[in-house]
Structure formats: structure tokens, C-alpha cells
Structure 1
């Protein structure tokens, strides 16, 4: 009897240790993911508060003056992972560094049930990421779409006037995916939507 109790205690201790280790690993995944995104420059997820703080600080030091001598072409791209039609209303815009600009993306839930979704942005070239400030974006929070609902979602942004002059084109790409469902394997093909002017 004593041997069984001792064995049960050992098993319980091992299970407790395994549970703590699994919780610790899950907790560590978030900063590891953010660090990986920063290193690779893809899927940059930033909160609205962080962008708002940066924009406010830039305004205080006068870095938001519009540079009318330069024009930067912003290309807009959209990708989907789920039952959506997702596209920008325009393929590109020409903007002056320092001026506030708005682009609208349209998304349609093609299912007869509500879905929750999230958009993840990425930028090319990678060096432009730190100069692309979003003041308002649908990517700041998850979106809930009713059955067959179509929604217009704005992005309000500014290109920092301090961006290197050799950067003449920036691509802003969003991947819009349904939350709570397994994603396709990396090798699987996914339809890609492109907007027309």
C-alpha cells in the first residue's frame, strides 16, 4: 500500500511539473513570436496605443511636416485564409511623406454564419516598416462579421518624412484569416484577391 502511495505521489509531482512547464512554454511563445516578427519583418502586429504614442511624439518634435518635394507610391495587397472576399478599394496611392492618408479595405463574409477574423500586416521593403505609421487600422483588433456581411474598413496612415529618399515604393500587405479554425499547411495554395482601380 505504501509503495502505491509513493508511486502516486511521484506521478502527481511529475504531472504538476509538466503542467508548469507547458504553461511556461505557452507564456513564452508570445514574446518569441514578436521577436521573430521583428527580425524577419513579417506579420508585424502592433497595438493602436503604440502607434498613437509614436504619432503623438513625432508631432511634438515637428516631424510630421509634409514633404511636397517627394512622392512615394504605396501599393496595397490582400491575402485571405478563410471564407472571405477581401480587397483594397485601390491598388495603389501616391502620397507625400508627412501627410495623413486613408485607404479602405472591403471584406465580405461568404458564409451563412457569423465569423471572427483578424488581419495581420506586413511591409516591403522591410526597411520601410519603421517609417510607416498607422494611426487607425482594422488590424488593431479582431473583427466580427455577421452572416454574408460586407464591411468597409479604413486604414489611416502617415509615412515618416525622415524615410530614406531611395525608398520610392512601399507595399502594405494584409492577410485576413478566420480565428478559431486550423490554418492550411504552408505548402497549400490559397486564393489571393487583388483590387482593381
Structure 2
């Protein structure tokens, strides 16, 4: 009888240890979960509720945006072939460091399938080193059926280190058929306006 009681006591002790361990692990999961979310960039609003950066007005603003300056970005499109190619907007004004997106529209107006690609160029030339494209259709070749239309985004950020005397940048694309002779990149026109002087 005493032996059975001793075995039961040991079993009870093991169950108590397991129960305490489970509760301890549960409490430890909260700070561990927060630590993992801090590493991965996901913010905790409440237990079981998460916030992806940029999805809420509470997200911290981009401290890299230079709101004291504005840059006019002009968009140009050159179609080297029988198709239609144009930007959705002719120009937009952005702050250095600000993420911006413009759409380019393309249509294959031929009665045959074609493969094509775009070549970008910039004016003035020194702007190329400061014009950072995060998404661009010029990175790939595309095959389009007869009459097929496409709209492609160009997401970009202008480096705040862009020289102060550059107030306008022209982004130009030449769209050409793959397999044909590759055309030279166009020479985009740009008027550089000195700082503090507003252009016409």
C-alpha cells in the first residue's frame, strides 16, 4: 500500500512539473514572439493581431525623404517599330527619397506575335547614378500576341544625393523588337535649372 502511494506521489510530482513547464513555456512565447517580429519587421498590435510595415498610418515615415526639394521627372517613350508605346503620365513631381510609380502602356498592333524589350536612358547623364528603379519592365523581354495590350509599372526612388542644380530628370525608353538590330539609346533632352530659380 505504501509502495503504491509512493508511486502515485511520484506520478503526481511529474504531472505538476509538466504543467508548470507548459505554463512557463506559454508565458515565454509572448516575448519570444515579439522578438521574432522585431527581427522580421512585423509589429505586434495585440496578441494574435499583426501590423505589416506601411499598412497603417501609425507606421514611421521614411526619414530619407527630402521634403525640402522637388524634382520634376519627365517620361518619354520611343517606339522603334509598328507598335504603340507611351507613358501614362508625361511628368510628375517627387521629393528625393520618395517612392513613386508610373505606368507605361504598350500594344502590339501587328498581325503577328512579337518579342520585345526596352532600353532606358536618362538626362542629364549624371542623374542615372541617382535614379534607382525598384521595378521596371526593362529588366525582361516580353512576347505579345497580335493586338495584345500591356501596362507595365516603373517604381523608382531618386537618391537625395542628386546634385542640387538638377531639378528635372527625363526618363526615356526605347522599345525594340528582340532579334532585330538593337537601336542606340535615345538622347533625352533636359533643361537644368539652377537651384532657387523656377523653370518655365
- Aligned partners of 1:116 and 1:145 also within 8 Å: yes
Higher RCO (CA-CA < 8 Å; seq separation 6+): 1
**Higher Rg:** 2
Distance 1:181 1:122 in 2: 20
In the alignment of these two chains, the number of paired residues is 123
Distance 1:183 1:122 in 2: 14
SS where residue 102 of structure 1 aligns? strand
Q: CA deviation at 1:64?
A: 6.9
Q: Which residue in the other structure is 1:8 paired with?
A: none
CA RMSD across the alignment? 1.7
Alignment of 1:54-73 (within 5 A): 65-73=64-72
- Aligned partners of 1:76 and 1:173 also within 8 Å: yes
Please list every run of 5 or more consecutive structure 2 residues that lacks an aligned counterpart in the other structure. 1-61, 185-200
Scaled by the length of structure 2, what TM-score is found? Answer: 0.59
Q: For each residue in 1:137-193, what CA deviation from the matched residue of structure 2 results, as whole angstroms up to 9, or x when unmatched?
A: 000011111111110010000000111111100000000011113468x9xxxxxxx
Alignment of 1:1-197 (within 5 A): 65-182=64-181
Scaled by the length of structure 1, what TM-score is found? Answer: 0.60
- Aligned partners of 1:81 and 1:183 also within 8 Å: no
Distance 1:158 1:183 in 2: 28
Judged with a 3 Å threshold, the aligned counterparts in structure 2 of structure 1 residues 164 and 64 are, in CA distance, closer, same or farther, namely farther
Moved over 6 A (4+): none
SS where residue 150 of structure 2 aligns? strand
